[in-house]
Structures are given as structure tokens and as C-alpha cells.
């Protein structure tokens, strides 16, 4: 598999709906599940699929993300015949500019792809949480002689307008596609996971780059153009847990689903046969004090729990002092909850301190984000 396919991970988005969490770091670098960063999931999926040539396209606030990815060692993608490369917008003879869209980002790295001479290209989003192997998807792509295969999942019809929506015939061929429509024609949504036959993709990107009126986006331009050109597009039906954590509420919900097991496949994200690899922070062991009360919580190494936590996801170097009560919350790395403070239904941003006796969102129905600068 590794000799014929290259993965390209789109990891340059701002993630503005995550508010202060993405003020200084890219969305794929945001913490999740006490131990992970979001980018761990697509990179681990590639490693578990035997895909060991990976380009990660970064743009917005990329310093932390670049440093975290490094040479791909965390995911075993730094061997003699493997390659992990971060790809930034770069100055050329035409000048310097940001990537104009998802398709433009790949187009401007065609030289990188050409140098690797792939037969197929896997294009992924860097900000989705799911666990899979792409092997069966590639096998289907090859068996059907597809030009493009799109991984799809059924979503709540009320949420369908947030996604690229498609319709298939009985054979699984895609016959209609809408990008984030106001009135969706179905609830079959694109996951933003594509396998393209490289020659077909390259030609489509070159054609699209010449169009002045194009937004240079896969959903808005490339997929519709390929459908119009009667290329072979097929859907690959994904059966498992998948989460787009684009908002504070959805990020909190995804963390809580690890604890409450609301989805039958949720826990496999952590304990499945295909591991999710991440950074070892080399923290001290977690410590649970004599007076501490811990219920239904995920607690990472380096945490010190002296107070009470219930339904919480707790990252490394977190301290919950004696007398503090934290419920239904996500505490990101370095959070300090001082004595007798109370926090409910919140995400507490990295390195935030909750003062002694402070009360945050008690009995609040909506999830809030708490930072050192402000409470929202």
C-alpha cells in the first residue's frame, strides 16, 4: 500500500468557533481526550493503514502544530522509507499568498506529489476525531476503477446543512452533490475524506487553477466539476464513530462521549485494535489524594486530584485542590482549580487558574469556555 498512495492532511484552518482555544494555535493542535491532540487521529489512521508518506498542509498559527508533528516520529512515520513533511504556503516567482482553498492547497504542492509519483492520493481533514483504516476504502476504489471515492456517513438531518451532501444510486455511484446546502437533498454527508486517482486529480486541479471565478475548493468546485465531466465517483460508507469538533459544544460533547459511551463505537477510539498515538509528556504519575472523590472520569498522567471530580476529562499537569468540586468538564493541560472552587459544564483552557472559592457555571445548561483572560 505504501508504494502507491500518499496522504495529504489539510491542517491549516483557523477554527474560529473554538474561540480562545485557537487564538494562538491551529485547530488540529487543540487538546482532546486528556492525552491527545486532534491531529493525532488522522496521522494515527495513516500509520495504522500502512500509509507512510504523508504531507501535512499548515497555514494558520502553525508554530505549535509544526513543532508537535516534527518528523512524524510519534506515529512511526520517520523511517528510512517513510516520510512526514509539513507543507506551508511559500514564496514563488508569482509571489507569496495564503492557500486560497482546499483544492488550491493541494494544487500548490503538486511538485511535492510529483516527486513521490503516487498512483493514488488520500486527502484528509486534520480536525476530525475518528478511528479507521483506509485499506478497505482503497481496495474499493481500485476494484471499481474509481476516479474519486468519498467516505460518507449518515448525519442528523437537522445538521446536514453543515456538510457536503450527496446522493448515490444503487451501485454506490455518486449522482448528485451539494456543498453545505440550505435545503439538503439527503442526510448522506461527506466526511472530507477522499481518495483520488492521481492523474485524474492532477488534471482537475490544473483546470480549476485556471478559473478566475473558482473558490478552489473540493466541495464547491472539484467534486461538481468531476461530476459534470462524468468521472467515476463512488461513495464509501463509513461505519463507526466520527466527530467534527468545530465548536465548543461539539468538542465538549466528544470528550463526554468517551466517558458516557453514548455511541456504541466511541470507546474504540481509545481502546480499539488500531491505537491512537500521541506525545508522551514524561509527566509524573497521576496522584489521587486520600480525601479525593473520583467518579466516571478520565485522568491523564501528571494530574493531581485532591478534591472531587465527576464526569471529567482531565489532562496532564492539572491540579484539583482539596475542597474543589468539578463536574461534567474538560480540564486541558496545566489547569489549576484552587481550594473550594466549583466548576460545572465547562471546558477550561490550557494553563487557566480558577481562583479559590470561585464558582463557574453552576447548574448551567450550556457549555462554556473558561480562560485566564475571560469566562465565556
* pLDDT of 51 over the 50 cut: yes
- Tell me how far apart the alpha carbons of residues 328 and 13 are, in angstroms, rounded to a whole number: 28
* pLDDT of 268 over the 70 cut: no
Whether residue 348 is contained in a domain is answered as yes
Can you give the pLDDT at residue 196? 98
| Count: domains in the chain | 2
Residues 254 and 286 placed together within one structural domain of the fold: no
Domain final residue, candidates 196, 229, 259 = 259
Percent helix / strand / coil, the chain, rounded to 5: 25, 30, 45
φ, ψ of residue 77 in degrees (nearest 5): -110, 35
Domain final residue, candidates 228, 259, 290 = 259
Whether residue 265 is contained in a domain is answered as no
Residues 19 and 127 placed together within one structural domain of the fold: yes
Q: Could you tell me if 104 and 209 are in contact, meaning their C-beta atoms sit under 8 angstroms apart?
A: yes
Q: What is the CATH number of the domain that holds 43?
A: 3.90.550.10
pLDDT band at 261 (very low <50, low <70, confident <90, very high): low
pLDDT band at 376 (very low <50, low <70, confident <90, very high): very low
Residues 204 and 343 placed together within one structural domain of the fold: no
What mean pLDDT do residues 328-343 have?
A: 97
Q: What is the CATH number of the domain that holds 310?
A: 2.160.10.10
What mean pLDDT do residues 51-61 have?
A: 92
Residues 255 and 285 placed together within one structural domain of the fold: no
Whether residue 276 is contained in a domain is answered as no
User: pLDDT exceeding 90 applies to what percent of the chain?
Assistant: 71
What mean pLDDT do residues 149-178 have?
A: 92
* pLDDT of 123 over the 70 cut: yes
Whether residue 272 is contained in a domain is answered as no
Residues 191 and 42 placed together within one structural domain of the fold: yes
The range of the structural domain enclosing residue 304 comes to 281-370
Domain final residue, candidates 224, 259, 294 = 259
What mean pLDDT do residues 280-289 have?
A: 92
Instruction: State pLDDT tens for residues 296-305.
Output: 999 999 999 9
All 3 cell numbers of residue 234? 463512488
Residues 287 and 324 placed together within one structural domain of the fold: yes
Whether residue 166 is contained in a domain is answered as yes
**Spatial CA neighbour of 329 closest among 360, 305, 307:** 360
Residues 340 and 195 placed together within one structural domain of the fold: no
Amino acid at each position: 500500500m505504501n508504494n502507491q498512495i500518499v496522504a495529504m492532511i489539510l491542517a491549516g484552518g483557523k477554527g474560529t468557533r473554538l474561540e480562545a482555544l485557537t487564538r494562538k494555535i491551529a485547530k488540529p493542535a487543540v487538546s482532546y481526550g486528556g492525552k491527545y491532540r486532534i491531529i493525532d487521529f488522522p496521522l494515527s489512521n495513516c500509520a495504522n493503514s500502512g500509509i507512510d508518506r504523508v504531507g501535512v498542509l499548515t497555514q494558520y498559527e502553525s508554530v505549535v502544530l509544526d513543532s508537535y508533528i516534527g518528523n512524524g516520529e510519534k506515529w512511526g512515520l520517520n523511517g528510512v522509507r517513510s516520510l512526514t513533511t509539513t507543507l506551508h504556503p511559500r514564496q514563488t516567482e508569482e509571489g507569496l499568498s495564503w492557500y486560497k482553498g482546499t483544492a488550491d492547497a493541494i494544487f500548490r504542492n503538486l511538485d511535492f506529489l510529483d516527486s513521490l509519483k503516487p498512483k493514488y492520493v488520500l486527502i484528509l481533514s486534520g480536525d476530525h476525531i475518528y478511528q479507521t483504516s483506509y485499506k478497505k476504502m482503497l481496495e474499493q476504489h481500485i476494484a471499481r476503477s474509481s476516479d474519486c471515492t468519498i467516505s460518507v456517513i449518515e448525519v442528523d438531518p437537522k445538521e446536514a446543512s453543515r456538510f457536503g451532501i450527496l446522493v448515490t444510486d444503487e451501485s454506490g455511484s455518486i449522482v448528485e452533490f451539494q456543498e453545505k446546502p440550505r435545503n439538503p437533498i439527503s442526510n448522506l454527508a461527506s466526511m472530507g475524506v477522499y481518495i483520488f486517482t492521481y492523474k485524474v486529480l492532477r488534471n482537475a486541479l490544473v483546470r480549476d487553477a485556471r478559473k478566475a471565478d473558482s473558490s478552489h475548493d473540493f466541495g464547491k468546485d472539484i467534486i461538481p466539476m468531476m461530476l459534470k465531466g462524468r468521472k467515476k465517483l463512488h461513495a464509501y460508507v463509513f461505519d463507526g464513530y466520527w466527530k467534527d469538533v468545530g465548536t465548543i459544544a461539539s468538542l465538549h460533547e466528544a470528550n463526554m462521549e468517551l466517558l458516557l459511551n453514548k455511541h456504541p463505537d466511541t470507546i474504540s477510539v481509545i481502546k480499539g485494535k488500531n491505537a491512537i498515538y500521541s506525545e508522551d509528556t514524561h509527566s509524573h504519575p497521576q496522584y489521587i489524594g486520600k480525601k479525593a472523590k473520583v467518579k466516571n472520569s478520565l485522568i491523564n498522567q501528571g494530574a493531581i486530584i485532591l478534591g472531587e471530580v465527576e464526569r471529567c476529562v482531565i489532562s496532564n499537569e492539572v491540579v484539583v485542590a482539596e475542597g474543589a468540586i468539578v463536574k461534567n468538564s474538560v480540564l486541558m493541560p496545566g489547569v489549576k482549580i484552587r481550594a473550594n472552587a466549583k466548576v460545572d459544564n465547562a471546558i477550561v483552557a490550557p494553563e487557566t487558574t480558577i481562583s479559590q472559592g470561585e464558582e463557574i457555571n453552576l447548574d448551567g445548561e450550556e457549555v462554556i469556555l473558561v480562560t485566564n483572560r475571560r469566562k465565556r
